[in-house]
Amino acid sequence: MYTPKHFTLAEFECPCCGSIGDGIDDNLLEVLDKIREAIKRPLYVSSGYRCTVHNEDVGGVADSQHIHGRAADVYADGEITPLQIAALAEQAGADGIGIYDDFCHIDTRGTPARWCEW
């Protein structure tokens, strides 16, 4: 079991019920730690684990990686853009990477996936 260096499991809790389901994927935690170490500043989780109710409420896809504990939407303060986070996520071994206006979706689904909402 991987112990994250820069994150607490509380940062990944579903905002509606406080659950983290069966836990957060070790590979995801490792990827996020690598990104955090590369940017040398906080990396914030805006959406981690989502229960099925919350996932539906926010318009997530039915089989979202968030409901499996394999995804996080993240952002950083300052000059670090979602595009820069995405590049670091790719270097760190993320599988799914989505770039949005103010955050980057990162997941460890097991197969490559890329998308951009700009």
Q: What is the pLDDT of residues 35-79, one digit of tens each?
A: 999 999 999 999 999 999 999 999 999 999 999 999 999 999 989
In this predicted structure, the answer to whether residue 33 has a pLDDT above a threshold of 70 is yes
Residue 4 within a domain: no
The domain of 41 spans 9-116
Query: Which CATH number covers residue 43?
Result: 3.30.1380.10
Helix (H) or strand (E) holding 110: none
User: What is the spatial distance between Cα 87 and Cα 57, in angstroms, rounded to a whole number?
Assistant: 29
Going by DSSP bridges, is the β-strand pair 96-99/104-107 parallel, antiparallel, or unpaired?
antiparallel
Residue 2 within a domain: no
Confidence grade of residue 2 (pLDDT, cut at 50, 70, 90): very high
Split into its structural domains, the chain has a count of: 1
Q: What is the pLDDT of residues 81-109, one digit of tens each?
A: 999 999 999 999 999 999 999 999 999 99
In this predicted structure, the answer to whether residue 118 has a pLDDT above a threshold of 80 is no
Residue 39 within a domain: yes
User: What is the spatial distance between Cα 55 and Cα 51, in angstroms, rounded to a whole number?
Assistant: 6
